[in-house]
Amino acid sequence: MNRIGIRAVAALLWAGVFLPAAGQQPERLTIWEAYRVARENYPSSKQRGLIEKTREYTLQNAARGYLPQLSFAGQATMQSDVTNLPIKIPVAGFSMPQYSKDQYKIYGEVDQAVYDGGMIHNQQEAARVAAAIQEKSLDVELHTLFDRVDQLYFGVLLLDAQLRQNDLLRQDIRNGLEKMQAMVDNGTAYKSGVDELQAQLLQAGETQTEENATRKGYLNMLLMLLGKTPGAMVSLTEPPELSLHTTISRPELLLFEFQQRNYDLQDEAAAALIRPRFSLFVQGGYSRPGLNMLSNNFSFYALGGIRMSWNLGGWYTLKRQRALSEIGRRGLDLQRETFLLNTGMQQEQSILEVARYTALLQEDGPIIELRTAVKEAALAQLRQGTLSAHDYLTQVNAEDQSRETRVLHRIQLLRSEYAYQTLIGH
């Protein structure tokens, strides 16, 4: 195949492979959308439905305590003695009944609680608090996702900016290469200058290849975190700068509150144990002897009334239970103070970091202007033959470095602002 045929095939392959991809519109993704999708897609998020179901079933089970309670029981006993009346009645044909020492009883009972000391209400509230603690613990775990999203999202943005700067660098090198090649063709410069510029252009191409590979890795990890297919076409939107809040509203603080409430409920449950209980009951059964104490035959019976029970054993442990709860509260207070101290220190450090990048970004502008002016002058000198290709590349690289530094500072400023917001829980 001749050279023309090879070029034609290459053109067709390029059109078939790259043009369809270029025609596809990439999905635009904001960092807020990335936060939301990452949180919803994370496997642990599915625990929220399980927590809700557990809370619902536990509340329903506790509420069953307000319904009438049906129970069955029976017993058979052998006694060493029975009741006898030591009375002789001198009446013909009449004798006092003799009770059997083996006695039997089977019965069913319906019991309706009237006052349970507050135990059922305490159980329901404990179920709500337990579910809230599980949810807030889940929120604490999911909060760490925001930092992972920040790292990957801003990593891709930084590489995008570096790739754009690399394009500008290669264009500057090409401009110098055209001028140097024209001078070589005219016999006013050595070919070594062209070789040096071409080598630098190839080196910039290698840098672009490395940056593209790194960007692909970052983006694929972000896509996996969002539940998307690696390699999907996604365009990340550079987020706006933020106004920094000062109030800490991390999920850990709510978790501490519900844990404190859990200790309060433990005290309330201990107090409920020492209160009397009242209930209405109806009992019916079949026994020997029955309710008629003058009969030794099997008979049915029924009775009902109000029952009071009062277990005072809870007094033995009430004081110690309250002491244990107070120790738990103090421990939680210390954990909360430690958390606020550490977060406050990180908050102060983050504020200084934002201020540092803001100041550096302001200083980058004048530096780039000066470097650009020097590079343009170097290009003019190169065109006139008064500057070597090496010296021209020195100025091009210096300007490129100043622009890359500004790119880095801008992304780092955004990254530090969003990291600060993640730190304090906004």
> Would you call 292 helix, strand, or coil by DSSP?
coil
Whole-number Å distance between alpha carbons of 192 and 373? 26
Quick one: 35-78+115-275+310-424 is in which CATH superfamily?
A: Outer membrane efflux proteins (OEP) (1.20.1600.10)
Amino acid at site 423: L
User: Residue 404 is encoded by which pair of tokens?
Assistant: 């890359």
Q: Where are the domains of the chain?
A: 35-78+115-275+310-424
- 349-369: burial string, b at 16+ Cβ within 10 Å, e else: ebeebbeebeebbeebeebee
User: Residue 213 is encoded by which pair of tokens?
Assistant: 């590979």
Question: Residue 72 — φ and ψ, nearest 5°?
Answer: -125, 145
Whole-number Å distance between alpha carbons of 149 and 156? 11
Q: What is the pLDDT of residue 6?
A: 37
Grouped pLDDT means (10 residues each) for the chain, 426 residues: 39 38 70 90 86 89 88 91 70 66 91 89 91 91 89 90 86 83 79 84 90 91 89 86 84 93 90 90 91 84 91 84 91 94 92 91 90 88 82 84 86 90 87
Q: What is the pLDDT of residue 134?
A: 92
Whole-number Å distance between alpha carbons of 393 and 398? 8
Query: Is the model's pTM score more than 0.85?
Result: no
